[in-house]
Amino acid sequence: MRRVVSVIVNNSSGVLARLSGLFARRSFNIESLTVGTTEDPTLSRVTLVVHGDVATTEQVIKQLYKLVDVLKVTDLTEEKMMARELMLIKVTVNHQTRQEINHLIEPFRASVVDVGRESITVQTTGDIEKNEALIDLLRPFGIKELARTGVTAMARSQQKVHPVQQLLT
């Protein structure tokens, strides 16, 4: 099962290597990993998408907590969360398909960010399932290139997840 884990870490050099090294060493499979600073510049939020059962995820979380630079780990899978990734898809087009693709991507609220003679590049933001649905739709036209950022996520407001501020007190 796919699980989304949010990790607050010290924003210092080597922390990402420590994190990814832990996964490699313990043979945990990471599907995606994104990282960026939080509202506190000394802290970064890492969002991990991992594959595994509850026990594996629990072990992942415990191992993450052992790292001195890790402050807070939250398994968001069962929470009400917002999970988004940005995706760029360069699709092959011709006179007939150009219009068709424009129509197709509309319900996805995707936008065309680059137009070429033989291809267009579509940008979309959404959860993993939505993005995969779009890929499936566009594949028959011919996908020349695909870039995904991996998921970044946080819990929705009503959920009692420790905000970064609480960690600092």
Partner 1 sequence: MTTKVKTRTMSEETHGSLKSKPIRGAEMIFESLEREKVEVIFGYPGGAALHIYDALYQTNMKHILARHEQGAIHMAEGYARVTGQPGVVIATSGPGATNLVTGLADAYMDSLPLVVLTGQVASGAIGTDAFQEADVLGITMPITKHNMQVRDLNDLPRMIKEAFYIATNGRKGPVLIDIPKDISGGEASYEYPEKVSLRGFKPTTVPNILQVRRMKEAVAQAKKPLILAGAGVLHAKGHQELVTYAEQAQVPVTHTLLGLGAMPAGHPQFLGMCGMHGTYTANMAIQEADLLISIGARFDDRVTGRLDQFAPHAKVIHIDVDPAEIGKNVPTEIPIVGDAKQTLSMLLEEDVVSAQSSEWMKQLNKWQETYPLWYEDDEATLKPQKVLETFSELTDGEAIVTTDVGQHQMWVAQYYQFKQPNRWVSSGGLGTMGFGFPSAIGAALSQPDHPVYAVVGDGGFQMNIQELATVKDYNIPVKTIVLNNGSLGMVRQWQEVFYEKRYSESMLNQNPDFAKVSESFGVKGLRVTTIKEFEEAITHSLNYDGPMVIDVAITPGENVFPMVSPGTALHEMVGISKGGM
Nearer to partner 1, 142 or 163 (CB): 163
**Residue 153, phi-psi category: left (phi > 0), alpha (psi -120 to 50), beta (remainder):** beta
For partner 1, the binding residue among 39, 68, 157, 158 (CB under 8 A) is 68
When the beta carbons of 10 and 125 are compared against partner 1, the nearer one is 10
Pick between residue 11 and residue 92 the one whose CB is nearest to partner 1.
11
| Distance, CA of 48 to CA of 6 (rounded, Å) | 6
Among 82, 115, 147, 168, binds partner 1 (CB under 8 A): 168
Given a contact cutoff of 8 angstroms between Cβ atoms, the answer to whether 113 and 107 are in contact is no
Q: Does the footprint of partner 1 cover residue 66 (CB under 8 A)?
A: yes
**DSSP H or E stretch at residue 160:** none
Does 9 bind partner 1 (CB under 8 A)? Our answer is: yes
By beta-carbon proximity to partner 1, the closer residue of 24 and 113 is 24
131, 85 Cβ separation under 8 angstroms: yes
- Report d(CA 18, CA 9) in Å as an integer: 11
Residues that bind partner 1 (CB under 8 A): 9-10, 14, 17-18, 21-22, 25, 55, 58-59, 62-63, 65-71, 167-168
